[in-house]
Amino acid sequence: MTSLAVVTGGNRGIGRAVCARLAADGYKVLLVSRDAERGRRAAAEIAGDVECVPGDLTTMASVRRLAEELRGRSPRLDVLVHNAGLWPSRRVLTGDGVEESFAVNHLAPFLLNHLLADRLGRVVQVTAGLYVKGRAEPGRTCVGADFSAMRTYADTKLCNLLTVPLFAERWREAGITIDAVHPGVIRTGLGDRGGPLGWLLKAVKRSWGTPEEGAAPVAALARGTGSGRYFDQDREVPLQGPAVDRELAGRVWAEAEELTAAR
């Protein structure tokens, strides 16, 4: 039976390259894209069995609609790759009253993991090494307090990473596995800006890795069997700093449960 993989943010960058790799490996791939037209175009251009599923990760209601759509597609989701990410340039609150990158980078994967758990086999969380620069402050991070484009992005990645070992423990008896991976410094549209700063960033990005290079460790982990681990590209490394704070992880988890109404 053909294995099924779901990839969020699959219409461009690393996500699109992951879809292509998994399709080449024989997976049926559901490419989740906020922009339905771009998603359908990307799916059509990738060789293999790839289908676009429109999905918005910015509000919890839209995440729930996506989960229902995915549940209706198959009784088994062999691989779920949380790739969608947002690097904010300014503080924006969603309809739920939370900072937008916090919603997309942290709450959306958290809620999807809960809503799809009875169908999951393997979860791969794409993250960023910048988590080491982040702070997780329940009650403040969620609303973008003291907003800074760089720090806020790092904050959301730290919050997300704090929950990965907890999911691994929670799912151990069910046989669901989850690992996180920093794919490297990759040349994608993430964090693009306008004006002189944007031009400078584009020039710097020319020396960064390609989306295909970033996709390699992600796709490799999709076929993995371990759980609760963190990888810097293809190397397993220990989490650092506040990411290993169990008490903080518990508070971040409890806040996410409250904000998503996930139990």
Residue 99, token pair as written in the block:
């900072």
State the helix-helix crossing angle for 13-24 and 211-222, rounded to 10 degrees. 50
Say if CB 179 and CB 224 are below 8 A apart.
Answer: yes
If residue 129 lies in a helix (H) or strand (E), which one and from where to where?
Answer: none
| 27 included as an active-site residue | no
DSSP class of residue 210 equals P
SS3 call for 2: coil
Say if CB 105 and CB 32 are below 8 A apart.
Answer: no
* Choice among 27, 131, 153, 230 that is catalytic: 153
Phi-psi region for residue 196, left (φ > 0), alpha (ψ -120 to 50) or beta?
alpha
Catalytic (active-site) positions: 153
